[in-house]
Amino acid sequence: MSQVTYYPNEVFTPTLPAKLTFVERAAVDDKLVRALQTPGKQIVVFGHSGAGKTTLINNKLEQIFEAHITTRCIAGMTFEQIVLNAFDQLSPYYKKDVQFEKSSGRKASLQSEYEIVKAGLELSSSEKESSTSSRMLPPQLTPQLLGALMGDAKACWLIEDFHKVGESEKVKLAQTMKVFMDVAASYPDLKVVAIGAVSTGREVVKYDQEMSGRVAEISVPLMANEELRLIIEKGASLLGLTFDPSVERQIVSLSNGLPAICHQLCLNVCFAMNVISTAMPGRAVGQADLDAAIKMYIDDASDTLKERYDRAVRNRRQGRFDNGRIIVKALCEFDQDGAAYGNLHKSIKRNNADYPAGNLTQYLKELQSPERGEVVGLDIASGKFYFSDPFIRAFCQAKLGVNPGQLRSTVWMKLISDIANMVEATVEANRKQEKQGSTKEGSE
Ligand SMILES: Nc1ncnc2c1ncn2[C@@H]1O[C@H](COP(=O)(O)OP(=O)(O)OP(=O)(O)O)[C@@H](O)[C@H]1O
Ligand SMILES: [Mg+2]
């Protein structure tokens, strides 16, 4: 009997969309599949960074669509660059020699329109000897034509990280979505799926009221504990491992809704146990393996944790309040589920009686953004603000001297204080090393 061999890094994928351990997301699956199967429906997917948007969409698109084109946005990208990126990816569908002679009227005319745009692009880039980033959008490449080219290729258009582009570009995408809705009469598969790591759909695409019935806004929540447990179990069974139930529970707790942490800890467990590929069934994962995995996690993440903490508490303006620090410290006093706005404000007021609600609103928003290390998340369902991962929470507690005395279980409490100590120790060791390095350099 031949047995398929799996390797830990293809099973546990902290930095790539999961395939082998993909778990269906009960809370969003139906809505997403309905939207994908409704002709002309445009889709906006949003949610906390790392909640599983890319993984979910990619797995569903593969199940439902023949093809899709992915454009990844970076800060400062213009809508023209985004359109050009998609157009470039259409080239396999419009190769000159592919059945061109035999193709029917609509296909032939699309093919020739494609050629005209392509020639226009080549001309503009050779004239300017410019890089792709400054190519001009030829006037023929209208949203209508892009829609028809994509529709004919039966390709759906996935735009990743759309929250990174400017406001005016978001309006342009909304206009393109509108055109795609109309073109959908001829091309039912035609669709834009725009993804953004934000907390509302409107922060991803600025579409107007009249379009709202034809845009599905899909929120991908943080993972439920049961879903995280399934990742561990699926991976374990592929690799022939058996996780001790208490180890499994701790990994689920530490992940706190973020599947990337779950994958990373499981992968680290494999490193710690020296699992090279599918092991003999029954190899058990115990507390010592988890401890080693956590240590690896901290070794790798300590500098990032420290940087995120520094961003969160830094004080740029000399105002009356040290806002970042005040809010983070107050949040440290709650458990990992976090606190509702009112309770957080109450807790802050104990030390800062006249702390304004306006500051709390503004800085809570900032603390969710990359500028402040994304240390805070907002759970829309419960209305609670919480630390976006338990490791950053432990580090903040350690730095701000908050005694996490009210934590629920003693195992969890010990874990948290161990993490804080490890982060501190690692950051300190790195700092010493850097210092030694720079004195050495200086003396050379
Ligand atoms: N449904 C799932 N089943 C198993 N693992 C998942 C699932 N969804 C996400 N993951 C894992 O979680 C991690 C983050 O997922 P993903 O990159 O899809 O999140 P994201 O929301 O797109 O994040 P970002 O906002 O940073 O782009 C990856 O390691 C991925 O493998
Ligand atoms: Mg993503």
pLDDT for 57 equals: 95
Is 173 in the same domain as 58? yes
Q: How far apart are CA 23 and CA 233, in angstroms?
A: 11
Where does 201-286 have alpha helices with state H? 225-239, 245-255, 259-273
CA quadruple 216, 385, 428, 323: dihedral, nearest 10: 110
Ligand 1 atom, smallest distance to 259 CA: 12
The DSSP line for 40-102 is T-EEEEE-STTSSHHHHHHHHHHHH-SEEEEEE--TT--HHHHHHHHHHHTGGGG-TTSSTTT
Q: Is 59 in the pocket of ligand 1 (CB under 6 A)?
A: no
Mark which of 187, 202, 219 sits at the end of a domain. 219
Is 293 in the same domain as 215? no
Q: What is the tens place of the pLDDT at every residue in 284-335?
A: 999 999 989 988 888 888 788 889 999 999 987 778 899 999 999 999 988 7
Is 210 in the same domain as 101? yes
Q: How far apart are CA 227 and CA 25, in angstroms?
A: 8
Q: Is 390 in the pocket of ligand 1 (CB under 6 A)?
A: no
Q: For the chain, which ranges sit under pLDDT 70? A: 1-2, 96-104, 124-135, 199, 403-417, 439-444
The DSSP line for 139-150 is TT--HHHHHHHH
CA of 300 to the centre of ligand 1 (A): 19
C-alpha neighbours within 13 Å on the C-beta side of residue 217? 15
- In this structure, what DSSP letter does residue 384 have? E
Nearest by Cα to 262 from 237, 300, 227, 306: 227
Q: At what angle do helices 143-152 and 79-89 cross, to 10 degrees?
A: 30
End-to-end CA gap in the chain: 63
pLDDT for 442 equals: 57
Residues listed for the chain: 444
167 falls within a domain:
yes
Q: What is the tens place of the pLDDT at every residue in 361-420?
A: 999 999 998 889 999 988 877 889 999 888 888 788 877 877 655 444 455 556 666 777
Structural domain including 320 reads 286-399
pLDDT for 404 equals: 54
Nearest CA to ligand 1 atom 29: 14
Is 308 in the same domain as 392? yes
Nearest CA to ligand 1 atom 23: 50
CA of 120 to the centre of ligand 2 (A): 33
CA of 288 to the centre of ligand 2 (A): 32
What are the structure tokens assigned to 95, written together? 């190769």
pLDDT for 408 equals: 43
227 falls within a domain:
no
pLDDT for 118 equals: 87
Is 71 in the same domain as 213? yes
Q: Is 270 in the pocket of ligand 1 (CB under 6 A)?
A: no
- Counting ligands in written order, the one closest to the CA of 56 is 1
435 falls within a domain:
no
Is 125 in the same domain as 211? yes
Tokens 């874990």 label which residue?
A: 415
Is 213 in the same domain as 291? no
Q: Tell me how many domains the chain contains.
A: 2
431 falls within a domain:
no
Is 175 in the same domain as 48? yes
Mark which of 178, 194, 219 sits at the end of a domain. 219
Is 37 in the same domain as 170? yes
Is 73 in the same domain as 180? yes
Nearest CA to ligand 1 atom 13: 260
Tokens 């990359």 label which residue?
A: 370
Residue 264 CA: distances (Å) to CA of 39, 136, 268: 38, 42, 6
Q: Is 51 in the pocket of ligand 1 (CB under 6 A)?
A: yes
| Residue to mutate (ligand 1; options 45, 53, 55; most atoms within 8 A of CB) | 55
pLDDT for 438 equals: 72
168 falls within a domain:
yes
124 falls within a domain:
yes
Is 209 in the same domain as 316? no
Q: CATH number of the domain that 204 lies in? A: 3.40.50
Ligand 1 atom, smallest distance to 49 CA: 25
Nearest CA to ligand 1 atom 15: 52
Q: Is 17 in the pocket of ligand 1 (CB under 6 A)?
A: yes
Q: How far apart are CA 238 and CA 126, in angstroms?
A: 52
pLDDT for 106 equals: 77
Mark which of 167, 185, 219 sits at the end of a domain. 219
356 falls within a domain:
yes
Q: Please calculate the CA angle 281-284-289 and round it to the nearest 5 degrees.
A: 135
C-alpha neighbours within 13 Å on the C-beta side of residue 255? 31
Is 182 in the same domain as 322? no
CA of 424 to the centre of ligand 1 (A): 28
242 falls within a domain:
no
pLDDT for 198 equals: 73
Q: Has this prediction a pTM greater than 0.85?
A: no
Q: Considering the chain, what is the average pLDDT of its residues?
A: 85
CA of 50 to the centre of ligand 2 (A): 7
CA of 351 to the centre of ligand 1 (A): 39
Nearest CA to ligand 1 atom 1: 23
